[in-house]
Amino acid sequence: MASYKLILFLLALINCLLFLSHPASCNEEEDKIFQGLNSFKQSLKKNSNAECLADEIADELEDQPCSSADDYAIEPGNGPKFPKFNKLIKKCHIDINTTTDGIILPVCVPNWDPDLVIKNYTHTQYAKYLNGSKYTGAGVGTEDDWVVVVLSTDTESGSFSGAPSLAAIGMVHYMMAMLLGLFLILLC
């Protein structure tokens, strides 16, 4: 009977660990670009919400010609130029009020060359954003020839953070899994 309880306890523990674990990012292209940007400015931290938004915007730009890259650059205060921006923000669980000080920098590099992509950020008008101290976080998204970098700040209006209620909802799932596991143990 004791070994049966131990097995149930271990199963419940494994269940909780699986719910609490976070999947690792496995996009090598995006990691190389992030590392290249950090070699230019060493203080950027990964921002998972900015990365989600960058991925979604890159997906939206996938079928656009490279000649339209300047049409989509977003600077602080000029608002989004993407037709589905509000939908993308919601998909990434970002509070729209936390995006006003951030910046979205899309580039298109035909035949995708990582070194050329980095140069498009470090040797163009985008370099001023990377050089400044305002931006402390970044998210990178890629799709075909398109690369999108979303820069975030440490301020509330540029952090790309999610709505507080969404974090609470996520915690409820973890707690329910843990309580279910404990309940199963007590039944035995």
Name which of 105, 161, 157, 154 is nearest 133 in CA terms.
154
Provide the pLDDT for residue 23.
46
Whether residue 166 has pLDDT greater than 50 = no
Provide the pLDDT for residue 22.
46
Which has the higher per-residue pLDDT, 44 or 180? Answer: 44
Full set of structural domains in the chain with CATH: 24-164 (3.40.33.10)
Mean pLDDT over each residue of the chain, to the nearest integer: 79
Q: What digits encode the pLDDT tens for the residues 16-46?
A: 565 555 444 447 888 889 998 888 876 899 9
| CA angle in degrees (0–180, nearest 5) for 163-87-81 | 110
Q: Please tell me the least confidently modeled range out of 3-12, 50-59, 132-141.
A: 3-12
Average pLDDT over residues 101-113: 88
Provide the pLDDT for residue 108.
92
Alpha helices in 21-63 (DSSP H): 28-40, 48-61
Q: What digits encode the pLDDT tens for the residues 43-99?
A: 899 999 999 999 999 999 998 898 887 777 665 655 567 778 889 989 999 988 888
Q: What is the pTM of this model?
A: 0.71
**Range 109-140 burial, b when 16+ CB lie within 10 A, else e:** beeeebeebbbbbbeeebeebbeeebbbbbbb
Provide the pLDDT for residue 2.
63
